Structure 1
């Protein structure tokens, strides 16, 4: 049985369904609409559905129609019910389907390609030994470090300065990951009903954070070669978003990096439209080109740019630390808002990260070399097993953004579960459930495991004819 992870109200399900019954309302139409929401990732497995009568009233149909639609969903494995507990969402397959985002660890019979994360480097253990030796000196104090340990703030500031963005420790707020930092910025600067501009496609978790503060995401499509800054400027002028969220360094999921010239143009657009951008630098250390990187976006205009970063991709996802780089005034404001959420980050982990940042380049250099090998191994395996899939070889980051040729990504993700392979469909990276032609494939597993993953993926892809579903998942949703 799926673990119940949340509840959606009758009003919420009605808003998600939108104009699902553009013709005559039928149980089949409702069942297909709910199934689409599940496969798009907007109704996560484990979500409890409204009671049948409330459900029916919210969408203006009979209770009998809702009951029949739920029966169809249960028959296909997209819903489950228990007497006295109601109905909840699930995905067809085994126990792994309780978590579509891929946050469960891989088991011997499951390969997880839903997460683009690497295991910890061996140097982390040595840094932990050094941090442990320094830990007792902090035990005589209260242990709360709302801004972050001074030593860690200094080293994060130094890393920005080395990259061409002079930064003082007072401009750094240590957070529990970049996502936490973005959530704090949203909480401080965005009110319910306001808009936040995002790239399309984009990383799913910030989309959830935007929805969490009651804001609306406004999408600007990415081009094959990068950002359409003219379209972005027009969107900023017309939609007047309160904030923009951008990933200019190895954009997740496309892997594209913004040029120095476009960074300068971007900041000019931000100034002209009086928009503040949150620039996510989570993947900045994973540059696989070996060339000279462009300056940070904030170097062209820090008055319009808030920078967030993380140790998760560079060092280890279990090191739940990140940071916000902003003006001193905004850092103070974020600190006041943070008190409603938490009181600071763990001291031992901060000492550990400070040790890693004391001389990070040897660790990162080996990290990049390893990631480059994994990338080439995945590319070679795809060329052999799935030669019709196309992708742009990314300059950095941790994943390929594959064009499947037809809009079947969600169906493929469901089919892959039956072969012991977890995927995230392309629709998870879209604002409103499109991107069904695409699939993100991380190159973060050992080479042998990657080879087996692609073998299973090819088996799953061969299990259906590759034609789009009669009710395609990538249809426009108003």
Structure 2
């Protein structure tokens, strides 16, 4: 059960009672201890986020059908364990063990809503994987802790996911990295030199363009049509084939699964054609699959096979746990031929010596039986996507978008070239967004705006109301003045 409690939100007595379920242990007379243990379990499992305000003692007692004394005793135990903090006049709230501190400030209408990062919070249940990994860590402590390409158990489970999606993979074809972007930078460092061309989509992920520029290489854009006006949407495969022949890029960077930011997905025939073109021109390509598991209308095995199934050894696949499980794990992976993995590992030694063992153990636990948690993530994102789409249609009816079947964001076409001005004006209304120009290799896209749906539904509706007000202020001729839109993008 996921009740979608936003950080700093309040949970009512009946909702908390529903979440706790059958909390009494059979035959136990330790009612207060059982209640405290049940609440602590929900906190550690992520169902009660830090900062959640708990119901008053009387309200919770009535909802649970117990005495107020029992509830008060349970809260005393939770306070002693650092799970709950209280202050007279402010009630009780969930806190970090040992954290104490002041209660979270009430959220005001001017709180900043961050729509610059398309990244969801940690999945409930992650703490269970942390506990299991902690037990497995003991076996690793007698070694030196440098895992090379990564722990075998984790590489095996990632290889199994690729095989299930239609790309047979062995653990030797997988290398664990410190996030998906880290994997791309490794490939870039190995394959591209100053002045080389890198073929990218237009629009594309901004941090990839910045990495290309940092390598003193030149991004060469080819369009991905996210214009819902003509309803065509898709990759310019003719343009890509021509660019592969004429520009002779040293590397390509594509996002073919729920493209960031358009949300589009390249179909099987398109993958076959693109893979053949890459093999024909002998062009290596990094395929960003960070969103591949976020199919909101189906399950990944039912979708098209990865591009690597069509492009062979010319394809380097990049994945991450950030978009599916939690960005704080800071783990990703590369999938390529064994020869390329060996070369990438040698390149890596100039930058770092491997990924942290404990986080790898946590991710291995999460991938032992990944579908239950991934289904929960997809269901949550599907609800938030639909809430955001409904809010945009109601508050900004002149904005157009194509409802994506997966991924994390809407790509909205604005009624005029105003994206940068709107991003600045939105800051004055408490919303942080990234203008379309940040997703362009060489500027432009001022008629587009990316809106992630990774916040709770209530916050998304509030954000769209504020964006509508910001757009209205531009129509009224107000000069936007406020915080810069040049913010980190995820």
TM-score, length-normalised on structure 1?
0.74
Contact 1:385–1:454 under 8 Å retained in 2 = yes
Q: Does 1:358 align with 2:368?
A: yes
Contact 1:406–1:466 under 8 Å retained in 2 = no
Q: Does 1:429 align with 2:439?
A: yes
**Equivalent residue for 1:109?**
111
**Equivalent residue for 2:67?**
none
**Equivalent residue for 1:152?**
154
**Equivalent residue for 2:285?**
277
Paired with 2:111 and 2:386, the residues of 1 have a C-alpha distance of 25
**C-alpha distance 468-392 of structure 1, shift in aligned 2 (>3 A):** farther
**Equivalent residue for 2:357?**
347
**Equivalent residue for 2:378?**
368
**Equivalent residue for 1:59?**
none
Structure 2's unaligned 5+ residue stretches are: 1-107, 227-232, 480-490
Give secondary structure in 2 for the equivalent of 1:197: strand
Contact 1:113–1:421 under 8 Å retained in 2 = yes
Paired with 1:374 and 1:109, the residues of 2 have a C-alpha distance of 20
Paired with 1:468 and 1:220, the residues of 2 have a C-alpha distance of 36
Contact 2:175–2:333 under 8 Å retained in 1 = yes
Paired with 1:319 and 1:180, the residues of 2 have a C-alpha distance of 13
Contact 2:251–2:286 under 8 Å retained in 1 = yes
CA drift of 1:107 comes to 11
Give secondary structure in 2 for the equivalent of 1:318: helix
CA drift of 1:253 comes to 0.2
**Equivalent residue for 1:386?**
396
CA drift of 1:288 comes to 1.1
**C-alpha distance 386-327 of structure 1, shift in aligned 2 (>3 A):** same
Paired with 2:477 and 2:248, the residues of 1 have a C-alpha distance of 39
**Equivalent residue for 1:316?**
326
Paired with 2:360 and 2:477, the residues of 1 have a C-alpha distance of 50
Paired with 1:330 and 1:259, the residues of 2 have a C-alpha distance of 26
**Equivalent residue for 1:86?**
none
Paired with 1:298 and 1:190, the residues of 2 have a C-alpha distance of 20
CA drift of 1:366 comes to 1.0
**Equivalent residue for 2:130?**
128
Give secondary structure in 2 for the equivalent of 1:301: helix
Q: Which runs of 4+ in 1 moved over 6 A?
A: 466-469
Give secondary structure in 2 for the equivalent of 1:120: coil
**C-alpha distance 242-467 of structure 1, shift in aligned 2 (>3 A):** farther
Contact 2:322–2:331 under 8 Å retained in 1 = yes
Contact 1:118–1:444 under 8 Å retained in 2 = yes
Contact 2:150–2:354 under 8 Å retained in 1 = yes
CA drift of 1:146 comes to 2.1
**C-alpha distance 212-468 of structure 1, shift in aligned 2 (>3 A):** farther
Paired with 1:116 and 1:449, the residues of 2 have a C-alpha distance of 14
CA RMSD of aligned residues (A): 1.8
CA drift of 1:395 comes to 1.0
Q: Does 1:165 align with 2:167?
A: yes
Contact 1:408–1:467 under 8 Å retained in 2 = no
**Equivalent residue for 1:401?**
411
Q: Does 1:263 align with 2:271?
A: yes
Q: How many residues align?
A: 365
Paired with 2:366 and 2:327, the residues of 1 have a C-alpha distance of 14
Q: Does 1:182 align with 2:184?
A: yes
CA drift of 1:140 comes to 1.2
CA drift of 1:108 comes to 7.0
CA drift of 1:301 comes to 2.8
**C-alpha distance 428-166 of structure 1, shift in aligned 2 (>3 A):** same
**Equivalent residue for 1:69?**
none
**C-alpha distance 466-251 of structure 1, shift in aligned 2 (>3 A):** farther
**C-alpha distance 456-107 of structure 1, shift in aligned 2 (>3 A):** closer
After superposition, the C-alpha distances for 1:154-203 in whole angstroms (9 at most, x for unaligned) are: 11111111111111111111000110000000111111100000000000
Give secondary structure in 1 for the equivalent of 2:451: strand
After superposition, the C-alpha distances for 1:38-97 in whole angstroms (9 at most, x for unaligned) are: xxxxxxxxxxxxxxxxxxxxxxxxxxxxxxxxxxxxxxxxxxxxxxxxxxxxxxxxxxxx
Paired with 1:367 and 1:189, the residues of 2 have a C-alpha distance of 35
For residues 2-151 of structure 1, what are the structure 2 equivalents within 5 Å?
A: 109-151=111-153
Give secondary structure in 2 for the equivalent of 1:323: strand
Give secondary structure in 1 for the equivalent of 2:328: coil
CA drift of 1:365 comes to 0.7
CA drift of 1:112 comes to 0.4
CA drift of 1:289 comes to 1.6
Give secondary structure in 1 for the equivalent of 2:465: helix
CA drift of 1:468 comes to 13
Structure 1's unaligned 5+ residue stretches are: 1-105, 470-478
After superposition, the C-alpha distances for 1:229-273 in whole angstroms (9 at most, x for unaligned) are: 111101111111001000000000000000001100001111222
CA drift of 1:433 comes to 1.5
Paired with 1:277 and 1:270, the residues of 2 have a C-alpha distance of 8
After superposition, the C-alpha distances for 1:415-448 in whole angstroms (9 at most, x for unaligned) are: 0111111010000000112101000000010111
Contact 1:391–1:402 under 8 Å retained in 2 = yes
CA drift of 1:223 comes to 2.1
Contact 2:150–2:355 under 8 Å retained in 1 = yes
Indicate the structure (1 or 2) with the bigger Cα radius of gyration: 2
**Equivalent residue for 2:258?**
250
Give secondary structure in 2 for the equivalent of 1:308: strand
